[in-house]
Amino acid sequence: MASSEALSNAQDNSDLVWDLDHINGRDFAERFIRLFENRLCVYSESVEQIYTNYNLHFPSEQGRKMVVLPNPYAFHDTLHSIRSGAVRKTGLCILPGEVLGKQGLVLAAHLGKNTPAPKFMPFKQAIARIISDQRKIGDAFLPILMKGDLREFDARMPYLHMHRLQLENLPHLSTFERQDIQQTLTKKLLMLYRMADSLRV
């Protein structure tokens, strides 16, 4: 259970308080987002930090809110000086396999209104291809989440939009610091990759 001090500190940063008013299937969405707790990192633009060690809290007194609670005892798990110019939308979305009547996670691109019918791929297959394509051009695929990335498809199916971090846009950091960030985010992604077929809402 979140301590009152930790909850208060998180609520002082509006980036860590996600509004779920637009989500119809609240219980389903809550179970879904918990699959990614500490498996995808969370970015706060206002303080230029990425949290790699956190808990998700759904305070009843807050109504339809979700609060991201960074672990207050793991300061070294917070990445600093991450300027917003290095964070980009990907258009890639993760959905529960239930959308295809399957177990595990699936990936789709550009869900939403006025877009072509989405094509769904098994998460592991899609991510392996993306990582390979990025590696060929000397880049790394480093997904992160931020406020607003938990959404709903067809007013019933929760999904997560992924942002990505582009290290070349952090020139103020040393090579060592950028390598450390890449290793940390890659480790998280590989953890999610390995479990993707067995995760179930």
Q: What are 33-58's pLDDT values in tens digits?
A: 999 999 999 999 999 999 999 999 99
C-alpha 87/C-alpha 73 separation (Å) is 26
Within a 13 Å sphere around the CA of 30, how many CA atoms are in the beta-carbon half?
Answer: 16
**For residue 161, what are its two tokens?**
């939009």
Q: What whole-number distance in Å separates Cα of residue 149 and Cα of residue 123?
A: 17
Residue 135 sits at φ, ψ, to 5 deg, of -65, -35
> Which residues of the chain form beta strands (DSSP E)?
17-19, 41-44, 49-51, 54-57, 65-70, 78-79, 87-96, 105-109, 121-122, 143-146, 150-153, 157-165
Strands 41-44 and 143-146: parallel
Task: Give the model's confidence band at 110: pLDDT under 50 very low, under 70 low, under 90 confident, else very high.
Answer: confident
Which pTM value belongs to this model?
Answer: 0.91
Predicted confidence band of residue 8 (pLDDT cuts 50, 70, 90): low
Find the distance separating the first CA and the last CA of the chain, reported in whole Å: 21
